[in-house]
Structure 1
Amino acid sequence: MKAYIFPGQGAQFVGMGLDLYEKYPVAQELFERANELLEFSITDIMFEGTPEDLKETKVTQPAIFLHSVIMSMVMGENFKPDMVAGHSLGEFSALVANGTLNFEDGLQLVSKRALAMQKACELQPSTMAAVLGLDDKIVEEVCEATPGIVVAANYNCPGQLVISGEIEAINTACERLKEAGARRALVLPVGGAFHSPLMEPAREELASAIESTLFNVPKCPIYQNVSTTAVTDAEQIKRNLVSQLTAPVKWTQSVRNMFSDGAKSFIEVGPGRVLQGLVKKIEPTAETSSAAL
């Protein structure tokens, strides 16, 4: 069985999507439609902007979504997933790819999500940190014992967990995690505490947008970050998507469940190869590749 997986924030690069735009008329049409819907020329930033321009949350999230979704669309008959999953933002790409959302609605939700997250970041200074070489349980215990808001946010693969929260709490937790034996505990250059309780204002904003959007019955199951198991019920997908902003991304658990449910081949659709590396660390016998056009 084939699992198609979609990357999240951090996979962007200057020039992303230009090859698709130049080679496929359908891609050009979709990119131009995106410029109209977003009311700014995202293609200019994607194709020839600076890395700094691309790092802005309101640009990054729609850019990665567009690259992934348009790539899945130009694959045509070659795109035949038995299941899909996406890392954080990538979950929206996966939901367009499996037919739950249409292109326009998916892009509008991603744009609203990005702006809502940006606003939440500005309300309270916060950050995230990568913790390497420690058991998940130890990281969770240290977070729980640290004063202030700091939580496990991304279960990326065994021995790699990202924590999220208030700046002071993150700094304290990093020191304690190093003392507990972490190989590294490194503060990340991100705009805020994604997948933590500090995203509650963004969650509320996104909830009303999701509630007023049509979700179709998907063509194949999605393994969502929050539930980690196969979901095909549109209402359940909505609930999980709303919860995702303040809940951890359980990527390790999702990949394990996909593998045990029969996925032997994991194909990454979109910029970068980060997810393939994570899959190999989670299930070393799984086949991984980038989507071929």
Structure 2
Amino acid sequence: MKAYIFPGQGAQFTGMGLDLYEKSPLAQQLFEQANSILGFSITDAMFEGTAEELKQTKVTQPAIFLHSVIMAKVLGEDFKPDMVAGHSLGEFSALVASNALSFEDGLKLVATRAMAMQKACEQQASTMAAVLGLENEVVEEVCNSIEGTVVAANYNCPGQIVISGEVEAINKACDILKEKGAKRALVLPVGGAFHSPLMEPAREELAKAIEETTFNTPICPVYQNVVAKAVTDPAEIKENLVAQLTGAVKWTQSVHQMIADGGAEFVEVGPGKVLQGLMRKIDRSVAASGASFE
């Protein structure tokens, strides 16, 4: 079975999507539609913007979403997923690519999510840190033992977890995790504590927008971050999408489940090769490649 996977924040690069725009009339039309929906020229930021401009949450999230979704649409008949999944923000790309959400509604929700997360980040000093070389249970125990908010937020691959929370709690956790034998416990240059309880104000805002949006039954199962299993029921999809803002991205668990359910070929759709790299660390025996079009 063929699985398509969609990257999240951090996969952006200067010039992203320009080749799609230049080679495909459909891509051109969708990019122009996106500029109109967003009310600013996202194409200028993507095609010509500096790395600094692309790092702004209100730009990054729609940019990665657009690159992924437009690539999937340009593939046309070649895009035949048996299953899909997306890492964090990538879940929205996966939902549009599998027809659970329209292009327009998906983009509007991503823009709402980006702004809501930005606001939540500004309310409290918070951050995330990458932890390498420890078992999940050890990381979870350390997070639970610390006063203040700090949680395991992204299970990226075996031995690579991202923790999220208040700055002081993260710093303390990093010190203890190093004592416990972590190869690295490194604070990341991010705007805030994504996938933690500190995103509660953003979750409430996104929940309202999701409630007002029509979701359809996808053309194939969507493996959602918070449950790490196949979902096709629109009501359940909505619920999991809301929970994702304050819940963990169970990426390792999702990929294992996809493989257990018959996923044999994984194709990353969107900018960069982050997920292909993680695939090699999760299960080397499974084929992983990037989508391309001529």
TM range (shorter): over 0.9
% identity of equivalent residues = 73
> Could you tell me the TM-score, scaled by structure 2's length?
0.99
**Alignment partners' CA distance in 1, 2:284 and 2:147:** 37
Render the CA deviation track for 1:222-260: whole Å, top value 9, x for unaligned.
Answer: 000011111000000000000000000000000000000
1:279 CA displacement: 1.2
Equivalence map 1:8-47=2 (5 Å): 8-47=8-47
Counterpart CA distance in 1 for 2:7 and 2:216 is: 22
Deviation at 1:27, TM superposition (A): 0.3
- In the TM superposition, residue 292 of structure 1 has moved relative to its aligned partner by 2.1
State the SS of the aligned residue for 2:34.
helix
Cα distance, 1:284 vs. partner? 1.4
Instruction: Give the secondary-structure state (helix, strand or coil) at the position aligned to 2:129.
Output: strand
In 2, distance between residues paired with 1:206 and 1:16?
Answer: 27
- In the other structure, the counterpart of 1:248 is 248
Give, in whole Å, the separation in 2 of the partners of 1:156 and 1:185. Answer: 14
- Counterpart CA distance in 1 for 2:42 and 2:229 is 34
Aligned positions, number? 293
Matched position secondary structure for 2:246: coil
* Residue 292 (1) aligns with residue 287 (2): no
Partner of 1:279: 279
User: 1:141, 1:233 → 2: CA distance?
Assistant: 34
Structure 1: 5+ residue stretches without partners: none
Letter aligned with residue 15 of structure 2: G
**Matches of residues 32-71 of structure 1 in structure 2 within 5 Å?**
32-71=32-71
Tell me the distance in 2 between the aligned counterparts of 1:232 and 1:170: 36
Q: Aligned equivalents of 1:129 and 1:216: distance in 2?
A: 36
Q: Give CA deviations for 1:57-113 in whole Å, capped at 9, x if unaligned.
A: 000000000000000000000000000000000000000000000000000000000
In structure 2, the partner of 1:204 is 204
Q: Counterpart in 1 of 2:223? A: 223
TM-score (norm 1): 1.00
3-state SS in 1 of match to 2:63: helix
Name the residue aligned to 2:82. 82
Amino acid of the residue matched to residue 275 of structure 1?
Answer: L
Q: Quote the residue 1:93 is aligned against.
A: 93
Please say if 1:146 is aligned against 2:146: yes
1:170 — aligned with what?
A: 170
Q: Distance in 1 between matches of 2:246 and 2:67?
A: 25
What amino acid sits opposite 1:210 in the alignment? I
Q: Which secondary structure does the structure 2 equivalent of 1:75 belong to? A: helix
Name the CA distance, whole Å, in 1 between partners of 2:13 and 2:249.
23
- Give the whole-Å Cα distance in 2 for the aligned partners of 1:158 and 1:22: 39
- Output the aligned Cα RMSD: 0.4
- Take 1:210 and 1:12, find their aligned partners in 2: how far apart are those partners? 25
Give me the whole-angstrom Cα distance separating, in 2, the residues matched to 1:192 and 1:251.
20
Letter in 1 for 2:35: N
| CA apart distance, 1:147 | 1.1
Question: What amino acid maps onto 1:27 in structure 2?
Answer: A
Deviations 1:121-162 (A, max 9, x none): 000010000000000100000000011100000000000000
